[in-house]
Structure 1
Amino acid sequence: MRKVTTEEKLIRIHDAVVQLMERREATDISMYDVAKECGMATSTVYHHYPNIENLFHNLLDDVFIDFDSLLSKCIDAEHVSHWTDINRMIETAYVNYYNNNPIAKKLILGRHTFTELGHADTENDLILGKEVETIYRQFFDVPQLPQSINVFAISLQVADKIYSLSYRQHGCITPELANEAIRLTESYLQLYIPPICQRSVPITELTH
């Protein structure tokens, strides 16, 4: 009989959490529940993760990798005619991801008492904010922004607040509240980016 590898065990554990997240809130999931769901001894799950928050944090790291990947894929250069198009493309991609990923939806948008997960999400938003700024500057001559604040990270966090409200009320991000998030983030970014913003490079260079 072939011995189950560590990687296979971790995949089973992670898959079990996803299945549980589809049925429960994060605060209603224990290490025992995870072990039962994946058909392992509880001690085996504890061998890989010291507690449930550590397990959730590990899964959230995978979400952060997905977020980074989304940024590189969601911009359709041929359809960027105004800087607000970038904001709309980014937020639309995140809404679709949240609505199809129970881990992201429940650990980032849901209510729970795992403070370290909130800190990790905030830190990741700071990183993503810098990446978003780079995307904007690839297309437009964005004015110099304040050094003391991360404008685009704040925009991401503002959107998440609306998404969180929608999730808690409806169990998902509704089209109406997704649109409200776009309107709110655009209004905030307009404090720093003028309505008329010249392109940094000709559009033909971005699409070839």
Structure 2
Amino acid sequence: MAAKTQKKKTVKRKRRSGTMQARGVKRRERITSAAKELLLKKNLEDISYNEIAETAKVPAGSAYHFFPNVNSIYAAIAMEFLQRYVSAIAAPANKDFHTWQDVIDKQIEQGAKLFQEDPAAMKIIIGGKTPPEIKHWDRENDRRIAEMTEQDIKRYFQLPEIPRANKVFFYYVEIVDLIFSLSVLEHGTIAPHMVHEAQVAGKSYLSNYIPNILSKA
């Protein structure tokens, strides 16, 4: 009988714990959604913690349980976006590429589209006022994208050995990021003509290391 009672108590605790976790996830989402909503109207530095909590309809004291400061909220938004970005870039394209340059064009267009669809993340990551810790995470993310860019080309073409390939592709990603950032600073978004500029710059840089024509893989 005692064992049965203990089992019921354990089940209740697990249910209660699961309910609390679910509530916590929803509350975190409300806070990050509120921050994204405010970022559509204001700059990063003009948004206060209390304003985010008020918009989320979450008491500030409770919000601190999930995020100790505004930058931690921005970091959560950035990390969620960067994970989506990496997953999208890593997914094989449903098309047959004729040249390695087509692969690069596709990747840059895809990256620009993802940023355009999430203006809050765009403002946090490439808006020119990115907090230092998020910049660090973004650089690490760029290294992953650099590796995937090389693998993406190899998926469709016979890519010859490139000395310091990890550096070459990382610099390529940074060049594209810089042009995206300039576009956000000048136009508030990644404008179509700046997507083209990023493609031109990225391909021009890589063409110093990759032959113009590659055989199919």
TM-score by length of 1: 0.89
Contact 1:25 1:110 in 2 (8 A): no
Give the AA of the match of 1:68: V
| Letter in structure 2 aligned against 1:199 | K
| Structure 1 residue 147 displacement after superposition | 2.9
Counterparts of 1:93-172 in structure 2 under 5 Å? 93-112=110-129, 114-147=131-164, 149-172=166-189
**Aligned partner of 1:133: which letter?**
E
1:46 alignment counterpart: 64
Cα-to-partner distance string for 1:137-164 (whole Å, 9 max, x where unaligned): 1111112122374222221211111111
* Counterpart check, 1:184 vs 2:204: no
1:13 shift after superposition? 0.7
5 Å-filtered alignment, 1:53-68, equals: 53-68=71-86
Change in 2 beyond 3 A, CA 1:53/1:127 = same
3-state DSSP of counterpart to 1:40: coil
Q: Which runs of 4+ in 1 moved over 6 A?
A: none
Q: Is the 8 A contact 1:159 1:184 kept in 2?
A: yes
Q: Deviations over 1:36-59 (max 9, x none)?
A: 110111111111111111221122
CA positional deviation for 1:23: 0.9
Using the TM superposition, give the Cα deviation of residue 121 of structure 1 relative to its aligned residue in structure 2, in angstroms. Answer: 0.4
Take 1:152 and 1:189, find their aligned partners in 2: how far apart are those partners? 8
Q: Deviations over 1:39-87 (max 9, x none)?
A: 1111111111111112211221111111112113472332x00000000
Q: Which runs of 5+ in 2 are unaligned?
A: 1-18
Task: State whether structure 2 residue 24 is matched by structure 1 residue 6.
Answer: yes
Contact 1:27 1:113 survives alignment (8 Å): no
Deviation at 1:113, TM superposition (A): 5.5
Letter in 1 for 2:94: D
CA–CA distance in structure 1, aligned partners of residues 173 and 121 of structure 2: 14
Residue identity in the other structure for 1:18: K
Match for 1:193: what amino acid? I
Question: Is the contact made by 2:32 and 2:76 (CA closer than 8 Å) also made in structure 1?
Answer: no
Q: How many residues align?
A: 198
- The separation in 2 between residues aligned to 1:56 and 1:145, in whole angstroms, is 37
Q: Classify 1:148/1:69 alpha carbon distance in 2 versus 1 (closer, same or farther; 3 Å).
A: closer
**Corresponding residue of 1:205:** none
TM-score w.r.t. structure 2 length? 0.85
Aligned with 2:215: secondary structure?
coil
| Contact kept in structure 2, 1:20 and 1:29, CA below 8 Å | yes
CA distance in 1, matches of 2:165, 2:197: 27
The 3-state SS of whatever aligns with 1:5 is helix
User: What is the aligned partner in structure 2 of residue 90 from structure 1?
Assistant: 107
- RMSD across aligned positions (CA): 1.8
**Percent identity between the aligned chains?**
26
Contact 1:63 1:104 in 2 (8 A): yes
